[in-house]
Structure 1
């Protein structure tokens, strides 16, 4: 994935979105022609299918054939009805899922566990990720973490926690076993625990809880991926469960969460083995996360998409 492949979408109604988008182009060496401007007044959490259709038309008119990735420079909107906005942009809006959000998805991702390096060329998918802009300063910190991660391959640990919350541990069979991988750069710790405390070397942290404790005691390395399997982590500005934004504020570089009640199908959440495989192979955060979710209709991908600590 090269800078020319990345389209950066800003909301002209939000000055911080525009400022963050311009900064992202600069530090990632993305051509100015890749800046796409839209207008979303009041930045609602959720938009209707009709409003999304208008937004998509506005974006599509400015996209170029070489664009493989779309970066949304805002915190909200993050949902289209029951769909996530990232899935709706990449795969199209799926109204059928909204009839029963707990049903298995009939709109599976062809990019799941795929070797494709050019998803739009190969499949017609422009991978989408939301880069939250709660303020320009916070967005800049996140962008800088992603840039700092590139080619770093630090000594780090991937933590996989099977918690006492059985329903939210549905993907634990895919947690890789403990041990050293990646030429000893990365150690895996597969634990039965509700949390970890006072660790300073996190590259991956995946768990299943409504709310993850002790995040303020942890240090995430640049490029770290972290997420928790729960119903509405992708309700980024909601208060019923822990928002996936909390991972980013704790120091992670990218995360994932569902915007509507998905039930606990592992296919609706990142598959840990697939995510680890592609990240260690050098994929960027957006590629690795998108490759790891089989049914992403309800899931919003957030963070700095081009972070690539294991890129060669």
Structure 2
């Protein structure tokens, strides 16, 4: 089996200095040229169960049931389970968030590098996403103009697997779903995904990038990777027209730009699949109807992780998952949490949902 470094060379992905990653992704976003592969540096290790803590809201029966199931399935120790009480509503006030931050700082062991938040609400802190605020701090100035640029994330250019030790931040993901039953299925999919595609060859699994006629939301199309077979990983990259969805098989990644995506039940998601759509308010997780669908619709359809914005971000590409950064990081064997966090340059409004440790392309044994 080839090494990760050798596979990257095979795709002509020459690792640049870490500081160039953000500039490179932004430059590609501004260029209408034919799609080319980004240069993404090799990652070193990945987050595992030893690195994560699950946070349970004792005021929320969903949170208690889901958090305990997660701790059981991932084999977390007692010190990796934090129980506290939060208001059960979509958004926290800045003062309530400060109290949450203070409790976590007091109670989390220093070895904890990332967080699984066992709830669907609260998903926001005023106009910020709770996941973005926990990692990078609450950015209150953004609420005056939510379409403005936000603080860039150092995690995009980070290649290690100890972000709290190295960067002083803990990336987070919500274990969010429409029901306890769906959340348990989500967690089980994440566990089942681990190492499942590390030796995959033929037939290939599919990474699907769907263009649409929705101009405002189709802005990621120039960032889509070139179509074709990535032989070393057993992945076929497909570019499709959302209006003419052909039969698909074994989808591990799906991205598009629509306010509401029809036919989700036609997409055969594999355990560990990532899926998201570019729209203004996909991170407002309580949405079950209306013109814009929620990121939780992807979870209900069988995806294992997704992304949405909690307040109007406009269509800044930096506020949504970059297709190539997401795919290329995931293929290196990192977790769903790491791949998503490394794909969003300005994540203040980004709520990440799913099973954070799912790692279908990881090779055994787990990184300690």
With the length of structure 2 as denominator, give the TM-score of the two structures.
Answer: 0.82
1:1-312 matches, cutoff 5 A: 1-41=47-87, 43-105=88-150, 107-153=151-197, 154=200, 155-183=204-232, 185-194=234-243, 196=245, 198-238=247-287, 239-240=289-290, 241-312=292-363
Q: Is the 8 A contact 1:113 1:292 kept in 2?
A: no
Per the TM alignment, residue 4 of structure 1 is displaced from its structure 2 partner at its CA by 2.0
CA deviation string 1:269-312 (max 9, x = no partner)? 00011111110000100000000000000010000000000001
Contact 2:49 2:357 (C-alpha < 8 Å) held by counterparts? no
**Is the deviation greater in 93-102 or in 131-140?**
131-140
Task: From the CA coordinates, give the structure whose radius of gyration is larger.
Answer: 2
Shift of 1:197: 5.2
Q: Which consecutive unaligned segments of at least 5 residues does structure 2 have?
A: 1-46, 364-368
Instruction: Pick closer, same or farther for the CA change 1:175–1:159 going to 2, 3 Å.
Output: same
Shift of 1:157: 0.2
Contact kept, 8 Å, 1:195 with 1:214, in 2: the verdict is no
Shifted more, 234-243 versus 209-218: the winner is 234-243
Deviating above 6 A after TM superposition, structure 1's stretches of 4 or more consecutive aligned residues are none
Question: What is the aligned length?
Answer: 310
2:43 corresponds in structure 1 to none
Greater shift after overlay, 71-80 or 174-183?
174-183
Deviations 1:47-96 (Å, cap 9, x if unpaired)?
A: 11111111221222111110101110000000110000000111110011
CA distance 1:100–1:167, change in 2 (3 Å): same
Report SS of the residue matched to 1:139.
Answer: helix
Distance 1:182 1:71 in 2: 33
Measured in 2, the distance between the counterparts of 1:94 and 1:195 equals 41
TM-fit CA distance, 1:185:
1.2
CA distance in 2, matches of 1:142, 1:94: 30
Task: Say whether the 8 Å CA contact 2:195–2:362 is kept in structure 1.
Answer: yes
Q: Is the Cα contact below 8 Å between 1:38 and 1:59 reproduced in 2?
A: no
Cα RMSD, aligned residues only: 1.4
Residue 104 of structure 1 and its aligned partner are, at CA, apart by 1.8
